[in-house]
């Protein structure tokens, strides 16, 4: 199975929701002319989110959190590189070494998936491609994150002011809205379109429907506040 399209027409988050709704297994590759990212899915759950940023590497995060020293990390990486067999996943190597508890590694990988998804929130140009290989990639510490929960958490972080660590060339608001099918009101645009990132467009459909239907609900009265969700 191959699914291909432009991010400007279908956001990464919209595609993720579609794949999750059909319990798909495979790899969603995203390119934006500058770099490439990959989201690994298993039965509709997110197994890993790979974004080529050194500050999001597993080893660097463990060192920053104080779970591992820089010296020990170098020793593990060097020992793994010198072995004759195929180089294994760093988390598995660390677990075998006993330097870091498996629970800490698993928790760090889960947080890494959330942070990398935040990085993808401002990718508005480029293409996506989903493929289902005969032998899917299997991870030793799969967080199996529910897509709706992943996108809700990303929306919450964006609304609280967190932003991707690397800026992207963003589309102007009117151009971004022109390619979107969300049919937002002007009031919604004022609230959810921030710094070239559309929170409404990237928000899970189930959450948007829980707030209100754009075509038949007003905006700004007490009833709207009651329908709003906590972090928006």
Domain residue ranges of the chain, discontinuous segments joined by +:
2-227
Give the side-chain half-sphere CA count within 13 A for 12. 30
Residue 231 has pLDDT above 50, yes or no: no
From 219, 167, 220, select the one nearest 195 (Cα to Cα): 167
Residue 185 DSSP class: -
Residue 30 has a pLDDT of: 93
Does the predicted model carry a pTM greater than 0.85? Answer: no
As a dihedral over the C-alpha atoms of residue 123, residue 58, residue 150, residue 107, rounded to 10 degrees, the angle is -170
Pick 178 or 163 by higher pLDDT.
163
* pLDDT tier, 182 (very low <50, low <70, confident <90, very high otherwise): low
Residue 229 has pLDDT above 80, yes or no: no
Residue 48: strand, helix, or coil:
strand
- The per-residue pLDDT for range 14-37, each reduced to its tens digit, is 899 999 999 999 999 999 877 888
Residue 9 has pLDDT above 50, yes or no: yes
């Amino acid at each position: 199975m191959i699914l291909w399209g432009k991010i400007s027409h279908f956001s990464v988050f919209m595609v993720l929701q579609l794949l999750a709704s059909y319990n798909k297994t495979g790899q969603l590759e995203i390119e934006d002319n500058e770099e490439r990212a990959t989201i690994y899915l298993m039965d509709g759950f997110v197994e890993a989110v790979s974004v080529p940023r050194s500050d999001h590497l597993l080893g660097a995060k463990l060192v920053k959190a104080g779970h591992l020293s820089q010296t020990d990390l170098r020793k593990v990486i060097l020992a793994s590189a010198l072995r004759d067999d195929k180089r294994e996943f760093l988390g598995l190597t660390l677990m075998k070494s006993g330097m870091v508890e498996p629970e800490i590694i698993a928790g760090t990988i889960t947080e890494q998936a959330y942070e990398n998804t935040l990085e993808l929130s401002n990718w508005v140009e480029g293409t996506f491609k989903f493929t289902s290989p005969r032998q899917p990639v299997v991870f030793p510490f799969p967080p199996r994150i529910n897509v709706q929960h992943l996108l809700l958490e990303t929306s919450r972080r964006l609304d609280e002011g967190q932003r991707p660590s690397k800026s992207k060339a963003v589309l102007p608001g009117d151009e971004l809205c022109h390619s979107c099918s969300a049919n937002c009101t002007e009031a919604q645009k004022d609230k959810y379109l921030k710094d070239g990132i559309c929170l409404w467009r990237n928000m899970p459909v189930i959450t948007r429907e829980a707030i209100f239907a754009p075509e038949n609900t007003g905006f700004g009265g007490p009833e709207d506040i009651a329908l709003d969700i906590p972090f928006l």
